[in-house]
Amino acid sequence: MANLAQRIKELKDIRGLTSAKLSKLSGVPLGTLNKVLSSSTKSVKTETLKKLADALMVSVAYLLGEKTKTESVTVENYGYVKVAAVTPKLYLGNVDKNVLEIKENIKTLIVKRVNLIVFPELCICGYSLADLTLFDVILNKCEKALGDIADFSRNYDSLIFVGAPLRKDGKLYNCAVAISNGEILGAVPKTRIPSYDEFNEKRTFTPSPDENSEINILGKEYPFGNKILFECRQMQDFKVGVDICEDMWFVHSPSEHDALNGATIIVNLSASNELVGKASRRRKIVSIQSYKECVGYVYANAGMGESSSDLLFSGHNIIAENGKVLAETDLFSDSYAISDIDVSYLQFVRRKKFNYKAEHTDGYKTVKFSAYVTGGNVDRKYEKYPFIPSVEKDRIEGMETALDIQAYALIRRIKQVGSNKVIIGLSGGLDSTLAILATCRAFEKAVWSKKDIIAVTMPCFGTTERTKSNAEKLAEILGVTLKVVDITKSVLQHFEDIGHDKNVADITFENSQARERTQVLMDIANQVGGIVLGTGDMSEMALGWATYNGDHMSMYGINSSIPKTLVRALVSHVAETCDDELSFVLRDILDTPVSPELLPKDGDKIAQKTEDLVGPYQLHDFFMYHFIANGFSPSKIYKIAVKTFENDYDCKTVYKWLENFFRRFFVQQFKRSCVPDGVKVTEISFSPRGDWRMPSDIERQAWLDDLQNVKPL
């Protein structure tokens, strides 16, 4: 216990914590903490150790002095690795001052619980040192500096990459040096040495050898080569490969092979000078690399401390994940970018994409390290509407693209069928409104008469004057053919035929109306030689909120890959861009509660509101996206949903509807297994012929058990 007490005291002093403050941060009673610090207790509970480790921002293994153990320790943290790309203040050629700056940045970022810290290329001495990099005066100082940074890192439980020139076998290499927990772990030399335009690195540096070997640093041998990966003992999916600047810009980056050999994060120690338009190219290529390799890409760039004799460096740091830029710094800010990378999500995507034979796997070496991982904390921010672009320019482009996909897909299907007559059940609700708007767009593009679009409104027991009126106005304004078919008598006759009491408003009462409407649409389609367009959306299909062989069925599902939140956004987009008369009707439809209108109305008020029954579509679309697109577990979805919607829903409400989502999703697959054709618009589709294959008889208990683990009290 004496060693444990000493470590806690040491870390407490480094963090500037009193015993009382540590007690408050950790939740460990002060009396218990004092016993640990005085070594007067023979053992410490695992729970107490975990609380103290969290408060001190280290792993339990580190507290116990077990950081050199080779066995893996799995920690449930939902896959989040907090990373930072840093541009420290640089003093060109002044290694001692540069080391101090590097240390200060490490101290700052550790407090932010960063697991991986990446500094720029040759940051210990400066990239633009040119011929002076060859001299022993600099090289000796750089080597000593690595030992100094390693010694400093022993109390900072993270993986750190710094750039330094290193000598080996009479050659000089531009290296990324990995450091963690007081140790140098290895050195990765740069593979692509540029000698074009403003670059002349071949004058100084040698490209990486093809095979790994060892390099002597301060009298000790360390792994050396461009086939080295660094793997966290506490979280095996946290596995890091290395590019150095030009490696990323050139054909066949070393990181491509790193990714195929298991690296989920690529660090790039760079010195990329600034030019007009280069920042945009840099951002794009980092994004593309992260997408191609299915990795988190952490790009740390040299800053303004470099020489301005011929070039200027901007400190443009970028963090990307699977094609999306998560964080970046402003040009010429010489600061840091920080973000969480979700390696669990990356592994899920890889299991779908990396199904081909791996190449260049020979000779790889994995070096283990220990790093503090944050447990179940979720710091990453997620969009409330994952299907809708948050940037206005992207949103407008996305809305237009979605409508065009629907329109052109419908044109193709109509040409195949050989008749340009389509039949749509127009209810005055959101889904059928989007369907007829997209259909009208298709007919306008194809220069077909919109009179061949037959909108059928079919009032019955629950139909309100508001929705019926909106359907009729919409059809008139759009210039389509409107048919009104009151199905009340038909449904009542059906009740009599099957012996159902018309006063019992049960599931038979509701679904008889839905199936009657589908029959009417199908028969009219036969009459005119056309096809019925389905109006149901993807959110309804996820929840099974559709009557089997009722609104579940059509001849083409034009909304089948569009979630309810995007349906609303698309209708809103049209309302904002169309003439006033149409806009007025669309806005009233947008303001109408979502309802199937299958229960008797209350006066002329809607008696049946869908979101009161199945839950808010805002939540369900969020759940659906992160379950299907990202492969998140129910408990992880709960964690991120609680944080994302903390100002909208309490944790019990989130849990209630998330549990409802999974209960419904698993028992409704039989409906998704036989859906009609329908174009894919978003990145998710439930088509059994395309994106989604799931047995209808699957047990759901494993998912519900996982969610049970985070059930709020």
Q: Which residues of 163-182 are buried (b: 16+ CB within 10 A; e: fewer)?
A: bbbbbbeeebbbbbbbbbbe
Q: CA dist 606 to 213, 550, 597, 603, 661, Å?
A: 74, 21, 7, 8, 24
Take residue 327 and report the two structure tokens written for it: 């964080």
Provide the 3-class DSSP secondary structure of residue 633. Answer: coil
The closest alpha carbon to 638, from 326, 388, 374, 378, belongs to: 378
One-character DSSP codes across 165-194: EEEETTEEEEEEEEEETTEEEEEEE-S---
Q: Which class for 221: exposed (0-12), middle (13-18), buried (19 or more C-beta within 10 A)?
A: exposed
Distance CA 313, CA 611 (A): 54
Q: Is 332 left (phi over 0), alpha (psi -120 to 50) or beta?
A: left
Catalytic residues: 121, 190, 245
Return the C-alpha torsion angle 468, 469, 471, 475, nearest 10. 140
CA nearest neighbour of 56 among 9, 103, 104, 105 = 9
Contact predicate 589/470, CB 8 Å: yes
Contact predicate 378/120, CB 8 Å: no
Q: Which structure tokens are listed for 495?
A: 């009740």
Q: What is the DSSP string of 514-560?
A: HHHHHHHHHHHHHHHT-EEEE---HHHHHHT-S-TTTTT--SEETTT
Angle at 17 between CA 12 and CA 22, to 5 degrees: 85
Q: Residue 703, SS3?
A: helix
DSSP notation for 431-449:
HHHHHHHHHHHHHHHHT--
Kindly report the number of other CB atoms within 10 A of residue 697's CB atom.
9
Q: What is the DSSP letter of 78?
A: T
Which token pair is 680? 């894919």
Distance of CA 387 to the CA centre of its chain: 12
Q: How far apart are CA 528 and CA 175, in angstroms?
A: 73
Cβ atoms of 86 and 111 within 8 Å: the answer is no
Query: Cα–Cα distance between 287 and 322 in angstroms, integer?
Result: 7
Tokens 């590097």 belong to which residue? 102
